[in-house]
Amino acid sequence: MDKYRILKKYFGYDTLREGQAELMDEILQGRDVLGIMPTGAGKSLCYQIPALIFPGITLVISPLISLMTDQVKALNQAGIHAAYINSSLTEGQIAKALENAKRGQYKIIYVAPERLETERFMEFACGADISMVTVDEAHCISQWGQDFRPSYVKIIKFIERLAKRPVVSAFTATATERVKEDILCILKLNQPKVLITGFDRKNLFFKVVQQRSTKQKEAAILSYVQEHMEDSGIIYCATRKNVEAVWELLQANGIRSGKYHAGMSNEERKQSQEDFIYDVSSVMVATNAFGMGIDKSNVRYVLHYNMPQSMENYYQEAGRAGRDGEEAECILFYSPQDVMINRFLLESKVGNSELEPENIMLLQENDEVRLNKMNYYCLTKDCLRHYILNYFGEQVSGRCEKCGNCQAEYEEKDVTDICRDIIHCVEQLRQRYGMNVIVDTLLGRNKAKIRSLGLESTPSFGICKGEKEGFLKNIIGELEQQGFLLPTKDKYMVLKLSQSCREIQNGERQIFIKVSKEELQTQTTETKKASKRKSDLLTSKGLELFDVLREFRLALAKEEAVPPYIICSDKTLTDMCIKLPKNKQEMLNVNGIGESKYEKYGERFIEKLREFTHGEEMTLYYEEALTEQEPIAEEKTTKRKGKKSEFSLTPEIEQQIQYTQQTTISDFVKQLNQYRNEDTTKCLSTTFITRKLVEEGYLKEEIVDGKSWKRTLKKGEDIGICEETRQSQYGKEYQVLLYTKPAQEFLINSLRDRWQI
Ligand code: ADP
């Protein structure tokens, strides 16, 4: 069977994506390959389809159990016999799997790299007909990569012991020149075809939000999640402590969320991961321990509560959004303290490693360079997408018009005078302090630390009074980037002056920075959202059907004990709503339905569709959007752009409201949002309501452990807002605000008569 027939029959797709055909052809001609393609590009098919055409077995070396399990489940669902052999199996199960493998029962076998070193596996491999060895996540072979795995280095020994040298194919998403060279060299690839496809993920929207305080960050993240209650998303934090804090914040606001970090037991982590994959919880708050091997295709946003350690990490984590090719957002909430946190984490990483001392130094330097590049991503006012692509070696310039920076309006501001003040200040402080002390001195802040250092008597004290702290910090960041200020590499990061500062002092150099209008106006706590507004291609009736199909998919997933996306993707469901297939032929035309999927579920889906349409012809999508965007084919988004108006309390909404004895603010707001016309109207946010209540003296804001909590005041109690003490999973007490019926009525009256959104 040729590759296109296999593509259709087993995977249900009609066309191959960029790079796939070329890599498959090279492999099929017996040539080694290295495929460097971004997450979600479709690397798996590049080796799975040749594996089905080759006469013998393909061994896929993969670093993570979850990754293997997922892939094998997906293959078996597609009607392809595959197995995995790793430490999650008992010795008995391994023996059985190897026996089956010897009998030729599997075309594809996934193994962990450590397994190759065992005698039993070697014995099997020497007696088997192995056509190809595929090395997945091949960057694990390089010490310069992010996830170095020593046993990857030994793969070549295994290959060399085989009776016949198989084709070797390697794949990765993140590879700088150095990592690429390592893969080629350590795996001893034989005159390989190296294919690097574009790294651009067009469906991802990138944005950096500058936040100066923990409180601001938390408020922004909470409001983002509340505005995307229907979507699945991941929030990455740098430390376990932050994961706990953000998770508790979400829990306290009634948001179904899970958490994941190395401090939890295996059992807890597994449960949390499953809840997320099975859509039981919609948000996952996690450290970077989470995500590798998670192929959840409908993640609609990835937020970073802290800046990651490198662009490689960032692109990999952010890249977990929108694997289904539909619009998704990647927002990084940045504060300058993130640099310190990461420096600390990097130091402890190197401190714990078993590397030779000379390598440790090299690694440290490398980490520092990567961290600086990451930091500059957060500070740059240029196109974020192009910054990423340039980092990964793709030469692009100009603007993408689809990232936070391209969409923000900037003003170029001449800040040369302020730069002179900063340089003077650093000189007067004898180059002994870091960013915070310098800024506090310039702003003339009467802080204990400044007084104790005796800095209130320096001439620079208060010279920039009236400027915003964030603005000064941005200018200092710019001076660092341009090499005028040199941060030391120790924990305290003192700022030193470089020779070139003289050029500024002598009037030979002018410094401009871009300042966004947003920054110039207020330091708002709410994230400015991407200007694009997502609304489905489907009409509200179409969305109703989509929900029915989604429910049905969940039921099938439970029957089969696999995650819903393994049954089929959201994109496939959307395509069903558009095409409303009535028979086998039409069902096979649906994106993502191959023969095997059809055999398993096709008729049952057709039956569901029939129940919904009662056999009538109907159109459940916006036709003009389809002609604009072409049918649901590859890479096309199912989202329609269009501006929505702010939420307003209409008589129709009011008529439907059901008052309850008591409720939380999120549930109440959720109810109101349900009744709005979601095609035309934005969500009402709980942040808006609580902000109003604080402004009007019904609630007060209290900061505990650096977190913001709302408490009721006498005036709030009078209108029926009461507090209930609850206990978190960790025994910590927190207060939940409950709104009784009179309080709910008060909110409705205020929304109708007084509050302007
Ligand atoms: P990667 O390993 O590169 O991150 P995957 O192999 O997991 O990406 O593929 C990502 C998604 O894209 C999967 O859901 C896969 O089924 C889908 N996909 C891959 N190739 C194609 C194709 N040619 N047409 C449509 N969808 C595809």
Distance, in Å, from the CA atom of 659 to the CA atom of 745, rounded to the nearest integer, reads: 8
What is the number of alpha carbons within 13 Å of residue 411 lying toward its C-beta?
8
Residues 65 and 106 in one domain: yes
| CATH (domain of 477) | 1.10.10.10
Instruction: Inform me whether the pLDDT recorded for 189 exceeds 90.
Output: yes
Which residue's CA is the nearest one to ligand 1's atom 25? Answer: 13
Are 211 and 218 in contact by the 8 Å Cβ rule? The answer is: no
Looking up tokens 């896929």 gives 60
Distance, in Å, from the CA atom of 649 to the CA atom of 652, rounded to the nearest integer, reads: 8
Strands (E), 216-368: 232-236, 257-260, 283-286, 299-304, 328-334
Quick one: average pLDDT of 516-523? 54
Residues 300 and 257 in one domain: yes
Cβ-Cβ contacts under 8 Å for 258 (sequence gap 6 or more)? 247, 272, 273, 275, 276, 281, 283, 284, 285
Atom of ligand 1 nearest to the CA of 74: 16
The pLDDT, as a whole number, for residue 631 is 39
Are 89 and 138 in contact by the 8 Å Cβ rule? The answer is: no
Strands (E), 512-655: 512-516, 535-536, 639-640
How many angstroms is it from 110 CA to the middle of ligand 1? 18
Which residue's CA is the nearest one to ligand 1's atom 13? Answer: 42
Instruction: Inform me whether the pLDDT recorded for 419 exceeds 70.
Output: yes
Cα-Cα-Cα-Cα torsion 658, 662, 667, 671, nearest 10 degrees, comes to 10
The pLDDT, as a whole number, for residue 529 is 36
pLDDT band at 105 (very low <50, low <70, confident <90, very high): very high
Are 228 and 301 in contact by the 8 Å Cβ rule? The answer is: yes
The pLDDT, as a whole number, for residue 232 is 93
Question: What does pLDDT average to over the chain?
Answer: 84
Q: How do residues 282-318 score in pLDDT, each as one tens digit?
A: 999 999 888 766 778 889 999 999 999 999 889 989 9
Q: How do residues 6-40 score in pLDDT, each as one tens digit?
A: 999 999 998 898 899 999 999 999 999 999 998 77
Quick one: average pLDDT of 433-450? 87
pTM strictly above 0.75: no
Q: Residue 310 CB: number of other CB atoms within 10 A? A: 24
Instruction: Inform me whether the pLDDT recorded for 525 exceeds 50.
Output: no
Are 224 and 44 in contact by the 8 Å Cβ rule? The answer is: no
- 515 falls within a domain: no
Residue 102's nearest CA partner among 68, 131, 128 is 128
Residues 466 and 546 in one domain: no
| CATH (domain of 605) | 1.10.150.80
Tokens found for residue 591: 């994106």
Which residue's CA is the nearest one to ligand 1's atom 16? Answer: 42
> Could you tell me how far CA 147 lies from the centroid of its own chain?
18
Distance, in Å, from the CA atom of 684 to the CA atom of 752, rounded to the nearest integer, reads: 13
Distance, in Å, from the CA atom of 555 to the CA atom of 564, rounded to the nearest integer, reads: 9
- 373 falls within a domain: yes
Are 219 and 687 in contact by the 8 Å Cβ rule? The answer is: yes
Strand (E) or helix (H) holding 745? helix 741-753
Q: How do residues 602-621 score in pLDDT, each as one tens digit?
A: 999 999 999 998 888 887 77
- 715 falls within a domain: yes
Residues 167 and 223 in one domain: no
- 261 falls within a domain: yes
Instruction: Inform me whether the pLDDT recorded for 255 exceeds 80.
Output: yes
Residues 378 and 240 in one domain: yes
Residues 210 and 145 in one domain: no
Residue 503: domain span: 416-510
The pLDDT, as a whole number, for residue 408 is 82
> Could you tell me how far CA 208 lies from the centroid of its own chain?
13
The pLDDT, as a whole number, for residue 108 is 97
How many angstroms is it from 107 CA to the middle of ligand 1? 20
Of 3, 11, 575, the residue with max ligand 1 atoms within 8 A of its CB, to mutate for a pocket test, comes to 11
Residues 233 and 340 in one domain: yes
**Directed axis angle between helix 665-675 and helix 686-695, to 10°?**
120
Question: Last residue of some domain: 389, 407, 425?
Answer: 407
Atom of ligand 1 nearest to the CA of 7: 23
The residue type found at 616 is E
The pLDDT, as a whole number, for residue 601 is 93
pLDDT band at 681 (very low <50, low <70, confident <90, very high): confident
| CATH (domain of 57) | 3.40.50.300
Are 280 and 256 in contact by the 8 Å Cβ rule? The answer is: yes
Partnered with residue 414 across adjacent β-strands are 512
- 222 falls within a domain: yes
How many angstroms is it from 43 CA to the middle of ligand 1? 7
Residues 331 and 462 in one domain: no
How many angstroms is it from 16 CA to the middle of ligand 1? 10
The pLDDT, as a whole number, for residue 639 is 39
Q: Residue 96 CB: number of other CB atoms within 10 A? A: 13
The DSSP result for 144-175, as a single string, is TSSS--HHHHTHHHHHHHSSSPPEEEEEES--
Q: How do residues 707-725 score in pLDDT, each as one tens digit?
A: 557 889 999 999 999 988 8
What separation in angstroms does the CA of 287 have from each of 15, 246, 250, 717?
Answer: 36, 11, 16, 39
- 520 falls within a domain: no
Residues 164 and 216 in one domain: no
The residue type found at 650 is T
Atom of ligand 1 nearest to the CA of 136: 2
- 646 falls within a domain: no
Q: Which burial class, exposed, middle or buried, applies to 611 when counting CB atoms under 10 A from its CB (0-12, 13-18, 19+)? A: exposed
Residues 89 and 124 in one domain: yes
End-to-end Cα, the chain, rounded Å: 61
Give ligand 1 pocket residues (Cβ under 6 A): 13, 15-17, 20, 37, 39-45, 295, 297, 323, 569, 634
Residues 392 and 421 in one domain: no
In the chain, the percentage of residues whose pLDDT exceeds 90 is: 41
The pLDDT, as a whole number, for residue 641 is 40
Atom of ligand 1 nearest to the CA of 43: 3
How many angstroms is it from 39 CA to the middle of ligand 1? 9
Residues 233 and 179 in one domain: no
Partnered with residue 58 across adjacent β-strands are 108, 132
- 643 falls within a domain: no
Say if strands 82-85 and 108-111 run parallel, antiparallel, or are unpaired. Answer: parallel
Atom of ligand 1 nearest to the CA of 44: 6
For residues 230 and 175, which has the higher predicted lDDT (pLDDT)?
A: 230
pLDDT band at 530 (very low <50, low <70, confident <90, very high): very low
pLDDT band at 401 (very low <50, low <70, confident <90, very high): confident
Distance, in Å, from the CA atom of 581 to the CA atom of 574, rounded to the nearest integer, reads: 12
Instruction: Inform me whether the pLDDT recorded for 560 exceeds 90.
Output: no
How many angstroms is it from 294 CA to the middle of ligand 1? 13
Question: Last residue of some domain: 167, 196, 225?
Answer: 196
What separation in angstroms does the CA of 79 have from each of 4, 13, 71, 355, 597?
Answer: 16, 15, 12, 45, 8
Question: Last residue of some domain: 383, 407, 431?
Answer: 407
Total number of domains constituting the chain: 5
